[in-house]
Structure 1
Amino acid sequence: MQRTAAIRLSGILNTVSKRPLVSNIPTTATLFHKKRMSSFSVKTLGAQEAIELDKELMGPEGGYSLDQLMELAGLSVANTVYKVHPLSNGERILVLCGPGNNGGDGLVAARHLWHYGYKPTIYFPKKGKNEIFERLSTQLRGLGVPFTEDYEAALKETDHIVDAIFGFSFTGTTIRAPFDAVITAMKSSKAPTTSVDVPSSWDVENGPPSEGPGKDFQPENLISLTAPKHLTRHFKGRHFLGGRFCPPYLQEKYGLDLKGLYQGVDQIAELPAAE
């Protein structure tokens, strides 16, 4: 009897010792972060400020290349999709890319999403002139990621949409083909959408258009890059900030208080909803 009891006790102790010590009690740091985030406010930037900030990041003092900024931006986009649309919600991701830098961010995000276990498909009808777009496309083809010309069929077969068509450099109200029809179809899709930096067709300063294909377009998620833009005052969904690379001297120059925003190794942070 004593031997049997000893064996049982030994088995229980071995089982307990192999279990990970996970505590559901939030740490002081976590509680402080949640309290700070509940009232966190990041200054928004207009189109010209965003352009100037990018130039400074890629200038002599900033030292970044376009490749680096696209890589970091695309990583933030991929992490946002992983956050709002886990694999259990469906692995098919349609990435809609435009000819500007936003399209490059979308291509990078697709590569990371493939490595996360998703099955991205790319719609990229008009490539930018910079050779970086061809290199990013080559990387995706090497992974077997398909490019499609039939966005309508792709929208019907996807579980989640990444809107990387237009960024903060978009101006005017006229949207040329094929993107006018693409935005209309995206807006009508039942699949949730994550927009990159700017919901496509929105004015950076004033938000959604009052007419045209983007009228009433309100994506479920938005990932702002480096800093939110003025348009976020009109956004109603889940809002994230990414691009964890802005040096302190530029944060100070542009009035960005990002201290304590990101936790641990996180590349994105969810911001409070606009009031």
Structure 2
Amino acid sequence: MEKPGCNLSHGKKEIQPLRYLSREEAEAIEKELLEEFKFGQQQLIEIWGHACAMAVTKVFPLRSLPKKQPTLLVVCGCEKNGAIGLACARHLRVFVQLISDAYNLVIDAVLGVEANPAEISEPYISVLATLKQIRAPLISLDVPSGWDVETGSSEGISPDVLVSLAAPKQCATRFMGKHHLVAGRFLPYDVQKKFELNLPEYTGTDCVVSL
């Protein structure tokens, strides 16, 4: 049986291009997980939050942080991405305060797939303005806040790291940061095949993989 993302041709493995999802496709995958495979909404949030925490520690191991008491800030919105950010923060054992130079890392979990950049209002406008100015490394979950899920944004924030949930969204083709990771190992094979995701292979027991 062929694995997702691979074709077997004359005994050799042929890698297929990774699929970048539109908003409609991302919503369809989540609907399928909830209705056909009976995942719970909170279960998905917990899975993604844990995977995001693993992605953060993969890119920024504790030993790489410069201060005696490493700290990071998770900035959460009110929708699903914010809930994922809170789960991520819990796994990272973070106590959230105001943004300052005391933080080694900042995680952007403010807005997600459901957000329309043309309709962003306060307090998000001020939060995004602050995120654009920080000097600490910035990690965005799934879709950088302020970006359109399909077209991206030339005026939005510029994260150093992007963690795509399930599969990369189309806006990820415009990501110019240092590290892009995918957290989608839990996706059933039938879902991967139906949407032709062509996800990369995960190493060992890792729940995230670097692109």
Q: TM class by shorter-chain length?
A: 0.7 to 0.9
The total of aligned residue pairs comes to 193
Equivalent of 2:76 in 97, 100, 122: 97
Q: What secondary structure does 1:156 align onto? A: coil
Gaps of 5+ in 2: 1-12
The TM-score, its normalising length taken from structure 2, stands at 0.86
Runs of 4+ in 1 over 2 A off after TM superposition: 154-157
Greater radius of gyration (CA): 1
2:150 corresponds, among 205, 219, 237, to: 205
1:185-218 CA distance string (max 9 Å, x none) = 1111000011000000000110114xxxxx1521
| Residues 100, 166 of structure 1: 8 Å contact kept | yes
Is the alpha carbon distance of 1:57 and 1:80 closer, same or farther for their aligned partners in structure 2, counting shifts above 3 Å? Answer: same
RCO (CA 8 Å, sep 6+): is it higher in 1 or 2? 2
TM-score, length of structure 1 as denominator length: 0.67
Rounded Cα–Cα distance in structure 2 between residues aligned with 1:85 and 1:51: 30
Corresponding residue to 1:248 among 169, 189, 192: 189
> Root-mean-square deviation (CA), in Å?
1.6
- What is the distance in 2 between the residues matched to 1:229 and 1:174? 20
Unaligned 5+ runs, structure 1 = 1-35, 115-119, 123-147, 210-214
> Which residue pairs with 1:266 in the alignment?
206
Matched residue, 1:160: 105
For residue 124 of structure 2, the aligned residue among 170, 175, 179 is: 179
- Residue 71 of structure 1 corresponds to 46
Deviations 1:21-50 (A, max 9, x none): xxxxxxxxxxxxxxx8xx773101001110
Q: Does 1:46 align with 2:25?
A: no
1:221 aligns with 2:161: yes
2:140 and 2:89 map into 1 onto residues whose CA distance is 14
Q: Give the structure with the higher percent helix.
A: 1
Identity %: 36
Query: Which residue of structure 1 aligns with residue 172 of structure 2?
Result: 232
The one of 88, 91, 96 aligned to 1:109? 88
Conserved 8 A contact 1:155-1:186? no
Q: 1:188 aligns with which of 133, 142, 145?
A: 133
